[in-house]
Structure 1
Amino acid sequence: MHLAHDPTAAPAPQINFDQFLAVDIRVGTIVAAEPYPEARKPSLKLTIDFGPAIGTKRSSAQIATLYEPAALIGRQVAGVVNFPPRQIGKFMSEVLALGFPDEHGNVVLFAPDRRVPNGARLF
């Protein structure tokens, strides 16, 4: 099991507040979702609206086991918006949609429990 998926793993080394602030985590609304059958792990291609300052970005997310594309439209999610784009097969993923593993290692998306403006930054 990957360390990040192990709830019994020790915490990561301490970082300072400036290091935390360097990771730009924003909320966005999923405006499109489609299957990505070419991915090695069950994945979906997401298009997420992060508001006027960041715009609409795409993400390849390993969430196809728990989520149907149509059910994701309009849902808010958290994502890291300042990683460099990453090629995932033939797809360019621009943001990292965030989630936590369930008891089987499937990704459960991380989202605010109330609606907030797209582009709002985690602090």
Structure 2
Amino acid sequence: MSSLIDYRARTDRSERRVTMFNGVLSTLIAVPLGLAGASGVPAVLHVLGAWAIISGIAQTAVGLRRRSAELGKQWPMLLAGGLSVLAGTYWNFLALADQPKLNVLVFYTAVGGIFFIIQSVLLARRTRQAQPQTA
């Protein structure tokens, strides 16, 4: 949903393409993830690992393009994108272990949610500060 809102808010075509790519990728991952779920934990970790790497690269690219001061320099988005790439890489290695577990996903989702909230708060504050005050 956030990708759709972000897509609608953007006017720059190249930024819209990256945002659309990330949104479509995140939506389409449901099919291979469902198939992987029937195959076991290693397959799920590989699919989620690939998704995390690709979407993390896209998120980092968007963050780098939006580094202006009025958009809060995008530090939470950049950190989340970079950590997503690292997490995806780790999950792919973890899938090769003797007894891989899905509990490693909890930390990723919690940290990702925190970064998302921080970025939203920063952008909302910047938007309020940029609006002219009326009495």
Smaller-chain TM-score bracket: under 0.3
Higher relative contact order (CA 8 A, sep 6+): 1
More strand, by proportion:
1
When normalised by structure 2's length, the TM-score is 0.24
When normalised by structure 1's length, the TM-score is 0.25
More helix, by proportion:
2
